[in-house]
Chain A
């Protein structure tokens, strides 16, 4: 009897395995080409990045008509580089993959991992080529081959500073006009505590650790210390810590920290969550960052602030000026991320066809503005006015990958269009903030050079960056100079030197003589 039971258990187990193994086969019956496309997942509540109204629409309008099964591969926005690296290595990278990080893309090129899109675009991608234009096609070229194309970027403004208007009003202060005026306002915020938060709770300037670009949240301030004598070569080849003037800027931040004007534990705030909370509950006087950061629908800093503090309001402020009163601001290039097809993909044709289909104005407009009557009802100057939606009909900027923003052929109109996608109560401030981000006497661009050492050392240097940033701001004022020099020396030894030399060599080779 016991044997019988045991035998039957074994047989059952085996049977279960066989059944389980065969259960999946019927799916293979469909003979459609499967085109996989990367999509950013921003973990928006109630919205599935890979299954929503827009993906279904694309399946219907593009997939079904071309006998293609669309499949979306989600990549968390914050893990852009590491996730795609793993997908590339395991052979699972989607047929259409994209990435902002030029160093990593160049690494793929050097590894011979990308498809040369040139012939495919020539045959199937004429509309796409026309839509992207020469600039975005050219920025996608590596080693004289069209290994990638870059998306268009319409809004080139980067960053703006914000200050609490209600606090300034309480103290009867005007908007600051210079870096030092701003600094004095920060001191007054701490001393006078205009928001009645309790002196210990006031954070005049909120900082956090933005790992892949750690100076981002103070860049406007640092740039106001850069002398006009800095050459374009220095601009493009020096690591941030060696840029003329940056050390003085950091010194001011160190002073501010020791005066209690900066969030005391910013070094623990790896993703800005604490910053966002502090701003939302009204503890923060000023913040620098993306030009729209405080007005975004998520995390909704201004919305929350208005709820928590009566009259609480952040306004853009244009006060960071150099010794001559000039403003220096970083601008984006007119291209977005790099779009590519992995070498092992068998669907380069379909990939180009898909993007070519997307460049059609009707298709692109639909993906950008959505359904009339749901996503927008009225138009201002021909621009659809967005009605924010939750759930699967929420508009996603991550579906129309070939463009970041939308082009109406005119800067003011583009700004208006951008603002109409924002929360109604902040549209005006959003426009002001954006205009401020592109208005300056000394704009600068960070050129991306394809350099192997950069891809190699980048991540190590990011960590060094966060270390220098936090330690030099938090140290005692008398230690600042020596600590700064010591840490920067370590930075250079950890790869910074090699990257700098390679950048100088690249600069000399490609732009040499233009700036002597």
Chain B
């Protein structure tokens, strides 16, 4: 028996758990097929690509970093990078804590049916596409037909043009982001909260802790690892920005604040048929992301939490 234990190596593991490994095979194949193999496309960023030719054909000459140079020189690129970082940073500051707060609040609800109904209602916006939310934004914030401005006008004040002023546009942008994702984001936190030992709450109550106290000293520390992981992941996406949200919400008057990397790539890369440029921007984004991911992971580890590796 003892001998057998010593001999226990990967062969033994394989023999014993082969069905489990077989299960793992599928996700692995998926990762290789759809995540690693397509990476050959990265070479596009270093070649002068000719539309409609095979990527590996010799016409597409290697040009080193020339395309990156071209990208950085394109008017509007630095503005797009700045806007992306700025909007994402605001998102992290305002939208990241929103689901945490919401989860804490939901957790305090004692009437179960009410809790369930409000949870479901909070999830709903997540399933709406931005095209629809864009319509809602117009219905709510427009100076002509907008809900908010109808109230403002009936109070005798002048309508506020939320969507035309860059500052208030950013406000609307962030607000709609929170509205859409906060409810959905609570799922993970609520799951984490349900894993907290109930005895801790009982003990705290015996010691005379109120609801706020136990929230602060038990619930929050209890979900600290979850927050940390999600924070790392959010930081890792700081330079990635979805296309729909800024594209649909933007208008010509706020373009200076609304043109982000994804919309830039759409215009300069895809619409103009310059795929090398689009790839170069993608590579640039990936490098920045890697940097932020590693840094925030290291930071989190420093604060005594487990990182993602």
Residues of A whose CB lies within 8 Å of any CB of B are 3, 6-7, 9-10, 13, 81-82, 85-86, 88-89, 91, 93, 104, 107-108, 111-113, 209, 264-265, 267-268, 270, 342-344, 455-456, 458-460, 462-463, 466-467, 469-471, 474, 493-495
Contacts and interface: CB of A to CB of B under 8 A. Distances in A.
A9 B26 CA distance: 14
Contacts of B115: none
A455 B52 contact: no
B57 to A, nearest CB: 10
Interface stretch (B83-91, B99-107, B205-213, B247-255): B247-255
Contacts of A342: 52
Contact of B52 (A113, A265, A466): A113
B164 A474 contact: yes
Contacts of A495: 75
B267 A463 contact: yes
A92 to B, nearest CB: 10
A113 B53 CA distance: 7
Contacts of A88: 51-52, 273
Contact of A494 (B52, B76, B164, B273): B76
Interface centre among A113, A459, A495 (most CB of B within 10 A): A459
B253 A108 contact: no
A120 B268 CA distance: 35
Interface string B74-97: 111000000000000000000000
Interface centre among B52, B54, B138, B142 (most CB of A within 10 A): B52
Nearest to B164: A267
A501 to B, nearest CB: 16
A89 B273 contact: yes
B200 interface: no
B51 A268 contact: no
B144 A264 contact: yes
Contact of B271 (A270, A459, A493): A459
B47 to A, nearest CB: 13
Contacts of A456: 272, 274
B270 interface: yes
B175 interface: no
Interface string B53-77: 1100001000000000000001110
17 contacts: A6-B19, A10-B19, A88-B52, A91-B52, A91-B54, A104-B272, A108-B52, A113-B50, A113-B52, A268-B163, A342-B52, A343-B53, A455-B273, A462-B267, A470-B252, A474-B253, A495-B75
B273 A466 contact: no
Contacts of B163: 265, 268
A456 B274 CA distance: 8
Contact of B138 (A7, A268, A458): A268
Majority SS of interface residues in chain B? loop
A463 B79 CA distance: 14
Contacts of A494: 75-76
Interface residues of B, number: 34
A343 B76 contact: no
Nearest to B267: A459
A472 B76 CA distance: 20
B275 interface: yes
Contact of A265 (B19, B143, B271): B143
A493 B23 CA distance: 57
B28 interface: no
Contacts of A267: 164, 251-253
Contact of B142 (A265, A270, A459, A471): A265
B18 to A, nearest CB: 9
A85 B270 contact: yes
A113 B253 contact: no
A85 B142 contact: no
Contact of B273 (A13, A107, A469): A107
Nearest to B278: A89
Contacts of A343: 52-53
Contact of A470 (B23, B53, B251, B266): B251
A105 to B, nearest CB: 10
B22 interface: yes
Interface centre among A3, A104, A265, A458 (most CB of B within 10 A): A265
Given A89-B273, A267-B253, A470-B251, A460 B74 contact: yes
Given A267-B164, A344-B52, A460-B76, A86 B270 contact: yes
A344 B274 CA distance: 19
Contacts of B255: 463, 466-467
Contact of B143 (A7, A264, A462, A471): A264
Nearest to B48: A111
Contact of A111 (B26, B52, B164): B52
A90 B59 CA distance: 16
